[in-house]
Amino acid sequence: MNHAKLKAIAKEYGTPVFVVDHDAIRENYRKFKKYLPRVQAYYAVKANSAPEIVQTLYKIGASFDVASMPEFMLVYDNIRHLPAKKRQDFIWDKIIYAHPIKANQTLIELDQYKPLVTYDNYEEIRKVKKYAPHAGLVLRIKVPNTGAMVELSSKFGADPGDAVNLIKAAHDVGLTVEGISFHVGSQTTNFQNYVQALQVAAGIFKEAWSRGFDKMIQLDIGGGFPAPYDENVRPFRELADTLNAEFDRLFPKKVEILAEPGRFMIATAGTAVSEVIGKADHDGKRCYYINDGVYHTYSGIIFDHCKYPVKAFKKGPTQICSVFGPTCDALDTIGLAEQLPDLKLGDLVYSENIGAYSAASSTYFNGFPPAKVVHVNM
């Protein structure tokens, strides 16, 4: 987004302000569909659950990955006006509740909607049978997460060697397993994670089909699609070419492939604009304090292991600076090696590509409210 528009928004709404460009969301969705034509894109609502974002993606035909009842209802709000059959078809075809562990009360609430849900253990089978018998199941398996920015397989995923037994156990109590899912870890730049996971999944499909579970035709390849945070991230098209070749090699056309892109859809659509509220020199180093931080829009630094370079609208010679957030906690450190010019109190700074896992995990710590959110190009 151009600097003039960002500064105008900051002037109108004040700072800190988090700007979401819906044209960028639409472009990311278009790119995903273009390069992975066989894959149905289920936006991972957790990446940024703003209702406006969900609505934009709904309007352009996206499907949705949810992991809580509030997330489910955010999507449901867009379809509650539909006739009953169309509404149910949308839930079955375009929503997956991709959380292997669900509270009993959640399952009770979900059952009326007859959704697709993931599982990875025998206890969950018993819970679903008792509390949500109308749900369809997708088995999540453990796969390598090597090199991912956020590792996920330590918490979820069945051992692949036990996969067919878990499929059979679900069928034995009258539940239907629709397919297999996995997650290679968030912001995965090691494309071999996908290759290995697809090979493991293909082996499970083959064994399951040989044992009579031939109606199992869904493959959920999860998320992990990397956002272009810097020049070290390989182009998405390279990953897409790798995936498409493996899809064609390993899975017959009857297999329906879906994915859960969150970061990929929303990261480049978000820009944070904040104001310099303090300035000091400590140990010979310039320090700037701004009115946004890691307890707010920059929360991805802590929760997501991400870095968001701080940039200045002002031009001039730069020096290495530290940038801190507004709270009294030393953890509220945005960067210790930011290249910035000489700034005055009241000057504006910004960070790009901060749309995912940022405002979504913002807090009210220390009494500071989250940044205002402004949606543009809706």
Helix (H) or strand (E) holding 265: helix 263-266
| Rounded distance between C-alpha atoms, residue 168 and residue 7, angstroms | 59
Distance of CA 69 to the CA centre of its chain: 17
Buried/exposed 50-87: b ≥16 CB within 10 Å, e otherwise: beebbbbbbeeebbbbbbbbebbebbbebbeeeeeeee
| Rounded distance between C-alpha atoms, residue 63 and residue 222, angstroms | 13
| Rounded distance between C-alpha atoms, residue 128 and residue 302, angstroms | 34
Q: At what angle do helices 104-111 and 122-131 cross, to 10 degrees?
A: 50
The reply to whether 287 belongs to the active site is no
Q: What is the number of other CB atoms lying within 10 angstroms of the CB of residue 313? A: 16
**Residue 234 DSSP label:** P
**Residue 184 DSSP label:** -
Place of tokens 């899975």: 251
| Rounded distance between C-alpha atoms, residue 2 and residue 377, angstroms | 13
Angle at CA 71, nearest 5°, toward 115 and 363? 160
Place of tokens 């990397």: 226
The token pair that represents 215 in the structure block: 């109606």
Rounded to a whole number, what is the distance in angstroms from the first to the last CA of the chain?
A: 14
Partnered with residue 270 across adjacent β-strands are: 20
The amino acid that residue 212 corresponds to is G
Looking at 287, 306, 321, 328, which residue is catalytic?
328
Strand residues in 81-227 grouped as ranges (E): 95-97, 116-119, 136-140, 148-150, 177-181, 186-188, 218-220
Catalytically active residues are 328
